[in-house]
Amino acid sequence: MRKRSEPHTFEQRLHEHRLRLETQRAELPQGERREALTARIEQLRTAAEMHAMLTRQA
């Protein structure tokens, strides 16, 4: 039987996704696509901060 890997936490998934987008953004020239990635990265940072804030209060 195959062993399942450890599940990743929400915070880990947000962090890994943000790192992937930052790597992609670094390879892009200035323009719309780069600005869209920058906005998405900021959304992921906000989501991580909100999650941390909400889980502390619980």
Cα–Cα distance measured from residue 4 to residue 19, given in angstroms and rounded to the nearest whole number: 24
Residue 1 lies in a domain: no
Q: Is the overall model pTM greater than 0.85, yes or no? A: no
Report whether pLDDT(16) > 60.
Answer: yes
Please write the tens of the pLDDT for every residue from 23-51: 999 999 999 999 999 999 999 999 999 99
Residue 49 lies in a domain: yes
Report whether pLDDT(6) > 80.
Answer: no
Domain total in the chain: 1
Residue 43 lies in a domain: yes
Percent of the chain surpassing pLDDT 90: 81
Is 14 in contact with 42 (CB distance < 8 Å)? no
* pLDDT confidence band for 58 (50 / 70 / 90): low
